[in-house]
Amino acid sequence: MEILSDYGLVLIGLACLFGFFMAWGVGANDVANAMGTSVGSRAITVKQAILIAMVFEFMGAYLAGGEVTATIRKGIINPAALDETPHYLVYGMLSALLSAGVWLLIASMKGWPVSTTHSIVGAIVGFAAAGIGVDAVNWGKVLQIAASWIASPLLAGTISFALFASVQYLILLSDHPFEKAKRYIPFYMFSVGFLIAMVTMVKGLKHVLKDNGISLSMAESALYASGVGLVVAIFGSYLLSRIKRNLEAEADNRFYNVERVFAVLMVFTACSMAFAHGSNDVANAVGPLAAVVSVVKSGAIGAKSAMPSWILLLGGIGIVAGLATYGYRVMATIGKKITELTPSRGFAAELGAASTVVLASAIGLPISTTHTLVGAVLGVGLARGIGALNLRVIAGIFMSWLVTLPAGAAMAIIFFLALKSIFG
């Protein structure tokens, strides 16, 4: 294909630029909402969140993000339709990266937590409809993804509601909350260790294990995760024994000492979720980039494209840059504007979100990390009554979700037509 041979280096250069921009958007929006519960509950500061993400998001993206990414993301379009025009796939993936990146920039400036997966899906639907034809789009898959808008927050909200209700019943509303916390929090710590380990194995390390010839069933993963949970519970019990009760501070805030315990727990969940998130969602930015590199080098559309380590490095750096420069806006929305969070509430939200990710992975339900976390925070707020929720902020978030797919599609069509007119 003459176009690919003549403009190959230029197209790869644009793909790197747009891929980095998209990764920046993932950091500014997606990573920020993952850190928002920890920051909003004051378990960690914004600077600590950025440091944690720099280490664990990057490690997750670089060490465990090397999945073999399908050339056409999530089976949304039929690759056979592009056999005669592989350069259209290159234009399409470039336009999808740029479109999703622009939408994530707009959303991050507004403080809207939107789904990076839905952003890139909407963009791919747009270029496919414009460049190939409406019939080439797998509308059934698109509808399935759209259905997750309801399923993700509903499931996470229900689990988080139940978790925080149990924290209230067992600890916060008891006559001696600090003593009850020391008794029951090791069980919650076991749950955190178990679920975070499950998230990491099922979502994060799955492809690393597969590349080394290791395949774990859900039951085997659960067994190993139980061991991790036990270690976390034992370590947590040790930390609990070192926390001395501050009676003076407790006079002003009855739950001061209890929240200190949950704050320690949330540092661990923040590190673990950052690793799992980086290993899973980096594909949204680097998947299309890998597809462009593969098509330009081979001149044809292969079934799959391997993920070179330098692409993962580019994605990891972009994610950290996005969180460090613009992540504070979305962190403020998730952590402070939806409902007031404390470490115990933030813990329930994070554990509810992790539970949803594990459950969805087990049953094959396509969900959004963003929608899951927002739903979890809503569930915790509802456990305290609807008056604890900022309904105006919530309405704005829901509207941004509805706009994500069409906005990504519309911009991708414009960028696709522009690239087509420039390169031919």
Q: What is the DSSP letter of 304?
A: E
* Sign for the pseudo-dihedral over CA of 67, 70, 73, 76: negative
So what's the pLDDT on residue 231?
93
pLDDT at 106: 93
* For residue 71, pLDDT beyond 50: no
Average pLDDT, the chain: 82
Using the predicted structure, report yes or no on whether residue 73 has a pLDDT greater than 50: no
Q: Which residues pair with 70 in a beta bridge?
A: 304
Q: What's the pLDDT at 207?
A: 64
DSSP string for residues in 98-112: HHHHHHHHHHHHHT-
**Which of 188-197, 206-215, 223-232, 313-322 has the largest mean confidence?**
223-232
The rounded percent of the chain whose pLDDT value lies above 90 is 12
Average pLDDT over residues 153-178: 90
pTM strictly above 0.95: no
HSE on the CB side for 282, CA within 13 Å? Answer: 35
Choose from 139-148, 200-209, 273-282, 294-303 the range with maximum mean pLDDT: 139-148
**In whole angstroms, what is the distance from residue 415 CA to residue 255 CA?**
54
Among 61-75, 136-150, 232-246, 289-303, where is mean pLDDT lowest?
A: 61-75
Backbone Cα Rg of the chain: 22
d(CA 131, CA 183): 61
Query: Which residues neighbour 182 within 8 Å (Cβ) at sequence distance 6 or greater?
Result: 240, 261
Q: Give the number of C-alpha atoms closer than 13 A to the C-alpha of residue 189, restricted to the C-beta side.
A: 24
Give the pLDDT of residue 161: 92
- What is the pLDDT averaged over residues 58-83? 63
Number of neighbouring beta carbons within 10 Å of residue 406: 12
What mean pLDDT is predicted for residues 119-147? 83
pLDDT at 2 over 80: no
Q: What tokens appear for 210 in the block?
A: 């597969």
Asked if residue 20 has pLDDT above 90, the reply is yes
- The pLDDT of residue 280: 65
Q: 118-147: buried (b, 16+ CB within 10 Å) or exposed (e) per residue?
A: bbbbbbbbbbbbbbbeeebbbeebbeebbe
What would the pLDDT profile of 369-385 be if each residue is shown by its tens digit? 788 888 999 999 888 88
The DSSP string of 148-177 is HHHHHHHHHHHHHHHHHHHHIIIIITSSSH
Measured in whole angstroms, the distance separating CA 39 from the mean position of its chain's CA atoms is: 16
Share of the chain above pLDDT 70, in %: 90
Using CA atoms, how far residue 421 sits from 5, 31, 292, 415, 416, in Å, is 17, 35, 18, 10, 9
Average pLDDT of the segment spanning 136-147: 80
Q: Residue 101, Cβ neighbours under 10 Å: how many?
A: 29
Return the pLDDT at 361: 67
What is the predicted pLDDT for the residue at 327?
A: 85
CA distance 4 to 424: 10
205 vs 25, residue with greater confidence: 25
pLDDT tens profile 179-202: 888 888 889 889 888 877 887 777
Residue 299, Ramachandran bin (φ over 0: left; ψ between -120 and 50: alpha; else beta): left
How far is Cα 199 from Cα 225, in angstroms, rounded to an integer? 9
- pLDDT category, 59, cuts 50, 70, 90? confident
Mean pLDDT over 71-93 rounds to 72
Mean pLDDT in residue range 98-111: 91
The interaxial angle of helices 309-332 and 283-298, nearest 10 deg, is 150
| Beta-bridge mates of residue 304 | 70
Q: What is the pLDDT of residue 72?
A: 45
- Digit-coded pLDDT (tens) for 329-363: 888 888 888 888 889 888 888 888 878 877 776 66
> Residue 353, CB half-sphere, CA atoms under 13 Å: how many?
30
d(CA 241, CA 186): 11
Q: So what's the pLDDT on residue 370?
A: 82
- What are 370's two structure tokens? 């963003």
User: What are the pLDDT digits (tens) for 110-126?
Assistant: 888 888 888 888 888 88
Dihedral of alpha carbons 400, 401, 403, 408, sign? positive
Does residue 225 have a pLDDT over 70?
A: yes
